[in-house]
Amino acid sequence: MSSTDYSRDQLQQVHASVTGFFQDVGCELLAYGPEHATLVLNLLPRHLNNASNMHGGVMATLMDVAMGLCGTWEADPADRRVALTLSMNINFSRAAAAGSRVRAQAKCRSSGHQVFMASCDLLDEQDRLIAFGEGVFKRGALRRELPA
């Protein structure tokens, strides 16, 4: 964690502002700073597919949110913009079962004024790679300008 990473209170402020499906999944924003973001999720039965492994859509959601966040950090969380996913590629490499704690670690790879590229690793508790991917994102409206 660097000196510019958000405090616990700032993390909670950002966590509450990431609306929609993210809240339904039950993720936790663990770390967030310039050009990086880390989310964690304790896998519950509702996160599994018919083979009793972590659902690919849940993996994609974690990675999409982590990558979108990593390119929208601002010193003041109220100035953070939302990210719009333009494209995303994911490679699945290992299954994860209920009871696992998975971690999505994203970093911004390249950034322009409006568009940024990010990569993400999805890891289990033993730091084994579950999935990895990359995406292209566009910075959108300020979060505070959108409906709650």
Considering its fold, how many domains does the chain have in total? 1
Residue 2 lies in a domain: no
> Mean per-residue pLDDT for 103-116?
95
pLDDT band at 77 (very low <50, low <70, confident <90, very high): confident
Distance CA 66, CA 31 (A): 10
The amino acid at 69: L
For the cut 60, the answer to whether the pLDDT of residue 49 exceeds it is yes
Residue 1 lies in a domain: no
pLDDT band at 139 (very low <50, low <70, confident <90, very high): very high
* Residue 118 CB-density burial (10 A; 0-12 exposed, 13-18 middle, 19+ buried): buried
pLDDT digits (tens, 9 = 90+) for 4-47: 688 888 878 777 777 677 778 899 999 999 999 999 999 999 99
Distance CA 39, CA 67 (A): 10
Residue 89 lies in a domain: yes
DSSP 138: E
CATH classification at residue 40: 3.10.129.10
Range of the domain at 25: 8-145
Contact assessment for residue 25 and residue 41, using Cβ atoms and an 8 Å cutoff:
yes
Residue 74 lies in a domain: yes
Handedness of CA 80, 84, 87, 93 (dihedral sign): positive
Residue 3 lies in a domain: no
- pTM (whole model) above 0.95: no
What is the phi-psi region of residue 127: left when phi exceeds 0, alpha when psi lies from -120 to 50, beta otherwise? Answer: left
> Mean per-residue pLDDT for 100-105?
97
DSSP 54: B
- Give pLDDT, residue 131: 98
- Give pLDDT, residue 46: 94
